[in-house]
Chains A and B, each alone.
Chain A
């Protein structure tokens, strides 16, 4: 947690700020070439900041409700779309384990179609890159840095255990807000 937060997320923030500074200068100068060249750094570092900011809220200590199943509207929606919470967990864990390289596995709400979806994104691509109407509810980081010091190569074991600290209260708040 400490390295993930103080080193990885901090680096995304620092590099995103640098890229935004450079973008500002390039836009002011009318340097389209430089503007385009900066998009990779902006997407990667901005995405890294966006994703990790969500991730920290997706987690909670057990004594603060981490792992407690979602109640209310989100709980019902999960049962509707995935049969049960176990069904959702199984699907997300499988897709997270199967992800090639670095990325994230998401539970999202498709605002337009009004349905829950499970999807993955590569590297630091935010969920919105998979669909403009997708709102991230729960994201699980499956980059190796998210688990390697503890779980080594056994990503499925990390995915089995991370559910014990998932903050469904937060996910429910986001869901209910979007459903108003």
Chain B
């Protein structure tokens, strides 16, 4: 495919205003696909431009669209007092809302090499990683192993347990956000191990994807989140 189309900016929709209904008793907040802070091809060769484009424009966009639809339906069901319908919608809300939450974090967890992608974390996060995992290599090894071993679709996370004040590595299934594994968990780095995140480039060899993705992990962003939570 043309380099030009791969390099083209990933601008989609802009900032969305709150949507209000015509006869609105109240309005619901809907969501839009966030722009990537880099070109689709900027993470190559770790992640191909083709994957980035489809992952962003198709997969993440679908979560946003379906989440908005589910929220609309939820609003109507709540207004009607239809508890059955409200409960029935929870699956779509969790899956698509989770997909939107997780991917929004993921795009920030990645950065082109020339913008610091892959550079080890400094400061307090770097120190905390050494404390809890021995070294960055130790953390990477653990996350890669857990990501490779994940059965089916899901995510592998580096999280901060706000309460216990310690770093943790955990996985979630499908589009479950990290918070579903513990209310005090704050996601610092999430790696998508759904097949769509790597298959076009790495085929079945998920471990190879996990080996390479670290070259574009944006530790600066993870450090910012960590330091903010530790105040």
Measured CB to CB, the residues of A under 8 A from B are 3, 7-8, 11, 40, 44, 100-103, 122-124, 143-145, 148-149, 152-153
* B168-224 with Cβ < 8 A to chain A: 173-175, 194-196, 199-200, 203-204
B151 proximal to A (CB < 8 A): yes
Beyond A144-B153, A153-B62: 9 further Cβ-contacts under 8 Å? A3-B204, A11-B204, A143-B195, A144-B195, A145-B199, A145-B204, A148-B199, A149-B200, A153-B54
CB-CB under 8 A from B133, the residues of chain A are none
Measured CB to CB, the residues of B under 8 A from A are 54, 58-59, 62, 91, 95, 151-154, 173-175, 194-196, 199-200, 203-204
Find out whether the CB atom of A102 lies under 8 angstroms from the CB atom of B203. Answer: no
**What 5 A-B pairs come out closest when comparing CB atoms?**
A144-B195, A101-B174, A123-B152, A102-B152, A101-B153
Chain A minimum-CB-distance residue to B99: A100
Chain B minimum-CB-distance residue to A11: B204
Find out whether the CB atom of A40 lies under 8 angstroms from the CB atom of B62. Answer: no
Selected from B154, B175, B199, the residue in CB contact (under 8 A) with A144 is B199
Q: A11-B204, A153-B54 are in contact. Are A145 and B151 (CB under 8 A)?
A: no
Find out whether the CB atom of A7 lies under 8 angstroms from the CB atom of B203. Answer: yes
27 examples of A-B residue contacts, CB within 8 angstroms: A7-B204, A11-B204, A100-B91, A100-B95, A101-B154, A101-B173, A101-B194, A102-B152, A102-B195, A103-B152, A123-B152, A124-B152, A144-B153, A144-B194, A145-B195, A148-B195, A148-B196, A148-B199, A148-B200, A149-B199, A149-B200, A149-B203, A152-B54, A152-B58, A152-B200, A153-B62, A153-B196
Chain A nearest CB, measured from B56 CB (Å) = 11
CA distance A123 to B200 in the complex (A): 20
Report the number of A-B residue pairs with Cβ-Cβ less than 8 Å: 53
Selected from B151, B194, B196, the residue in CB contact (under 8 A) with A44 is B151
CA distance A152 to B153 in the complex (A): 16
Chain B minimum-CB-distance residue to A154: B58
CB-CB under 8 A from A102, the residues of chain B are 152-153, 195
CB-CB under 8 A from B196, the residues of chain A are 144, 148, 153
CA distance A149 to B50 in the complex (A): 12
Chain A minimum-CB-distance residue to B91: A100
CB-CB under 8 A from B151, the residues of chain A are 40, 44, 123-124
CB-CB under 8 A from B200, the residues of chain A are 148-149, 152
Chain A nearest CB, measured from B114 CB (Å) = 28
CA distance A123 to B151 in the complex (A): 7
Chain B minimum-CB-distance residue to A44: B151
Chain B nearest CB, measured from A62 CB (Å) = 26
CB-CB under 8 A from B154, the residues of chain A are 101
CA distance A3 to B203 in the complex (A): 8
CA distance A4 to B62 in the complex (A): 26
CB-CB under 8 A from A100, the residues of chain B are 91, 95, 174-175
Chain B nearest CB, measured from A48 CB (Å) = 9
CB-CB under 8 A from A11, the residues of chain B are 204
CA distance A60 to B74 in the complex (A): 43
Find out whether the CB atom of A8 lies under 8 angstroms from the CB atom of B173. Answer: no
CA distance A11 to B195 in the complex (A): 15
Selected from A8, A40, A144, A153, the residue in CB contact (under 8 A) with B58 is A153
CA distance A44 to B153 in the complex (A): 13
CA distance A51 to B206 in the complex (A): 21
